A and B are shown apart, each in its own frame.
Chain A
Amino acid sequence: MDLNYTPEQLAFREEVREFLREHLPADISERVKAGLGVRAEDYRRWQRILFERGWGAPTWPKEFGGTGWDPVRVHIFEEELALAGAPKPVPFGLRMVGPVIIEFGTPEQQKRFLPRILRGEDWWCQGYSEPGAGSDLASLKTRAERHGDHYIVNGQKTWNTSGHYANWIFCLVRTDPNAPKPQQGISFLLIDMSTPGITVRPIRTLDGAHEVNEVWFENVKVPVENRIGEENKGWTYAKFLLSHERTSIAGIGSSKRELQRLKSIARQEMKNGRPLLEDPLFAARVAQVEIDLMALEITALRALAAAAENRAPGPEASILKIKGTEIQQTLSELLMHAVGQYALPFERHSPEENDFKSVAGPEYAAPLAGTYCNLRKVTIYGGSNEIQRNIIAQTILGL
């Protein structure tokens, strides 16, 4: 047993740090560190910078323009980026549809789509959920009917993150309504968002943000060549994708950054004439979340080690989503409580719409309540935490 990085891994970490010192734009990292959210244009700008360095797709194999890194290097890379205040990459292209295209796509699809994801030219979004199909995703109803070399798609997707920036959407659609099991009649389609018949409507969330959308399909023509893999086998590709989604959701690096921010704010806030961080009760709450984060990190490293040896992920991998999201929520709760009544002044939590300059109180207080509200989502999406527990119960504990 050895919990330390090898000298090569340490040298790599230094290389990443040096790159970040030189190339991470300060205006972007300042926004990230202050919790103001990232603007769409900044995501694109940062992806181009990574691409130019050859680090556009840390999890992809080399032959597709990725880095070919092993899981430990990917982890080091992601952690350093998060700590430095780099935007968390938009997952839909790089972490979701990209790996699916690499694994199951045709050479034409790979040539057509992968380089554009790498360079940040295409913005993808995920069309899985529907009003009637959330946790029970396989019950989805959006219909695709084959007409010669096209599908005609009709239906509605919802909770679609950043569809208003996206030019492509990957969708699960029903191609065989009569299949014996709901999982069997589903196909995986790549759809150009500019195709006639697609309407994107905003959904306002509790924090006032416009982050998610409804997407309506009315007789949308999709070429058959935009299907991934075989017809009616979409569920297999969807499940492959979800497993990629879950491992990237733990957010250890960004939670470490938030912990630093929490401590920094609690040092500036005063309680009874002393810094809040010296208040025994508050200090204990901060300590508790820091300890939880340590436990999560080592659990994540165990999962990484298993992945690096190509062993099937052990039980520890399934825990990451649950604990990682709970820690994110706890941190946002403590951050909000740290600023007392100045958590109350409120502006919509929307990076495109404001920079939180006009609210009262210390500047660092302005986005905290909005973030607390916004992060309620992390235990709901990516397979809700209840669903994760069901998975652990069934597949790990054999219950």
Chain B
Amino acid sequence: MDFTFTDEQQLLADTVQRFVREHYSFETRREIAASEHGWSPALWQELANLGLTALNVPQEHGGLGAGPVETMLVMNAFGEALLLEPYLEAAVLAPALLQALGDAKVASELLPAIASGERIVIVAHQEPQTRGELNMVTTRAEKNGDGYVLQGKKSVIMHASAAHEFLLTARTSGKATDAAGVRVFRVPSDAAGLTINSYRTLDGRRAADLELDRVRLPSESLIGADSDTLAALETAHHISLSALCAEAVGIMKAVNAATIEYTKNRKQFGQPLSRFQVLQHRMVDMFIHAEQALSMSYLAAIKCQDPDINERRRALSAAKVVIGRAGRFIGQQAIQLHGGMGMTDELIVSHYFKRLTAIELTWGDTDFHLQQFAGLG
């Protein structure tokens, strides 16, 4: 058993944390959130210069070939900073899916451009009725001469408006919940027949619903001809869930620290709020939740590539449950303990709260994963 990080891992964690503390203040973030696209391509380039967009790309494709532990450390820091850039989607999920699909040709085309930060590739999988179920796909891909015609709808695709292209799932056969027949297509964001309806999300990011109306694609858009696409999707989502949990852990730590600090400084009834025992115990509970979440985030990172699929599913669903519950409690109590100040847009606490809320709703909420876990035996 070993819960220590290697020197390289520690160095990575320190570097990223220093970078966001120096370059991603809450004020900077506010400006980025208010800007037209809601994220900063210039900052993205800086992340690329630090090698962070290459982290999850294998060395043979110009990446660093790091693993879930490194990703976890990076996501801890991005959580604290409430980073708005599409790191989770474009630098974790997309490369993970490309690797899992195992299409050498497409991988060698896309992965180097992802590693260098030039190309934003976004996975477009979720549909209105998905609710965490990866096999729920109704978008159709009909064979048409040499290529395919896609028809359907993708729902709440985070950072869709930042994408150069999508890795979009569609059915070549079967009905809505069949495991077989789900395939991944490369769809350029300017494809004819594709409409991207963008909007802001609860956590200050951008997302979009995608409408596909007779989108024509050449046959080479289909990725991973012989692979089991659904298994690849699940693998990629497990790696990304681990990263998402790590982001939540970074937020919990920061929001707990902010709450402790606030209650030490705010005085009512002639004493700091932190002297009231009921608030002390509340902060102890927040701390315990965060520690449990941290433990489960470690488990998620260690297990997210486990070859035993049952083991992997159990670990990831368990982690999402613990982290969802912890995030809810910590976010709500952080606001409560800040009183009126916690309700303001001005303080970062409410923004942490909103991101924790969004994380709980991402890729299956707490109840969904609780039921998944129960069903695994």
Q: Mark A residues whose CB is within 8 Å of B.
A: 129, 134-136, 139, 158-159, 203-206, 208, 212, 270-273, 281-282, 285, 329, 333, 336-337, 340-347, 358-361, 369, 372-373, 376-377, 379-381, 384-386, 389
Q: Are A134 and B268 in contact (CB under 8 A)?
A: yes
Chain B contacts for A384, CB-based, 8 A: 336, 339
Chain B contacts for A385, CB-based, 8 A: 336
Quote the shortest CB–CB distance from A128 to chain B (angstroms).
12
Quote the shortest CB–CB distance from B254 to chain A (angstroms).
16
| Closest 6 A/B residue pairs (Cβ) | A206-B350, A136-B268, A204-B345, A341-B156, A346-B202, A344-B201
For window 156-178 of chain B, which residues contact chain A by CB distance below 8 Å?
A: 156, 176-177
Number of A-B contacts (CB under 8 A): 130
Q: Are B345 and A206 in contact (CB under 8 A)?
A: yes
Q: How does the 8 Å CB contact mask read for B64-104 relative to A, with 1 for contact and 0 for none?
A: 00000000000000000000000000000000000000000
Of A135, A282, A386, most B-chain CB atoms within 10 Å: A386
Chain B contacts for A135, CB-based, 8 A: 268-269, 339
Q: Are B345 and A205 in contact (CB under 8 A)?
A: yes
Q: Are A134 and B340 in contact (CB under 8 A)?
A: yes
Q: Are A282 and B340 in contact (CB under 8 A)?
A: no
- The stretch of B16-24, B238-246, B291-299, B363-371 in contact with A is B363-371
Dominant secondary structure at the A interface:
mixed
Quote the shortest CB–CB distance from B81 to chain A (angstroms).
18
Q: Are B131 and A158 in contact (CB under 8 A)?
A: no
A136-B268, A340-B131 known; A373 and B207 CB under 8 Å?
Answer: no
For residue B139, CB closer than 8 A to chain A, the reply is no
Report the Cα distance A212→B342, complex, angstroms: 13
Quote the shortest CB–CB distance from A313 to chain B (angstroms).
24
Report the Cα distance A369→B201, complex, angstroms: 10
For residue B335, CB closer than 8 A to chain A, the reply is yes
* Partner pick for A361 among B128, B200, B279, B335, CB 8 A cutoff: B128
Chain B contacts for A361, CB-based, 8 A: 128, 155-156, 209
Chain B contacts for A377, CB-based, 8 A: 343
Quote the shortest CB–CB distance from B183 to chain A (angstroms).
22
* Partner pick for A273 among B177, B209, B276, CB 8 A cutoff: B177
Chain B contacts for A340, CB-based, 8 A: 130-132, 361, 365
Chain A contacts for B279, CB-based, 8 A: 386
Chain A contacts for B42, CB-based, 8 A: none
Report the Cα distance A385→B345, complex, angstroms: 22
A337-B365, A359-B199 known; A206 and B344 CB under 8 Å?
Answer: yes
Of A134, A337, A345, A347, most B-chain CB atoms within 10 Å: A345
Quote the shortest CB–CB distance from A26 to chain B (angstroms).
29
A344-B156, A344-B361, A386-B279 known; A271 and B209 CB under 8 Å?
Answer: no
Q: Are A136 and B269 in contact (CB under 8 A)?
A: yes
For window 194-240 of chain B, which residues contact chain A by CB distance below 8 Å?
A: 197, 199-203, 207-209
Chain B contacts for A159, CB-based, 8 A: 340
User: Whose C-beta in chain B lies nearest to the C-beta of A205?
Assistant: B343
- The stretch of B55-63, B113-121, B351-359 in contact with A is B351-359
A205-B345, A342-B156 known; A380 and B201 CB under 8 Å?
Answer: no
A203-B344, A206-B354 known; A360 and B339 CB under 8 Å?
Answer: no
Report the Cα distance A66→B361, complex, angstroms: 47
Q: Are A376 and B131 in contact (CB under 8 A)?
A: no
Q: Are B201 and A204 in contact (CB under 8 A)?
A: no
Report the Cα distance A271→B133, complex, angstroms: 9
Quote the shortest CB–CB distance from B211 to chain A (angstroms).
11
Report the Cα distance A384→B201, complex, angstroms: 29
Report the Cα distance A56→B155, complex, angstroms: 47
* Partner pick for B155 among A342, A372, A386, CB 8 A cutoff: A342
- Supply 27 A–B pairs (Cβ within 8 Å), ascending by A: A135-B339, A204-B346, A205-B343, A206-B345, A206-B354, A212-B340, A270-B129, A272-B133, A273-B176, A281-B371, A336-B361, A340-B361, A341-B155, A344-B202, A344-B207, A345-B199, A346-B202, A347-B200, A360-B199, A361-B155, A373-B202, A373-B354, A373-B357, A376-B332, A376-B342, A380-B335, A380-B343
Chain A contacts for B371, CB-based, 8 A: 281
Q: Are A379 and B343 in contact (CB under 8 A)?
A: no
For residue B376, CB closer than 8 A to chain A, the reply is no
Report the Cα distance A389→B276, complex, angstroms: 13
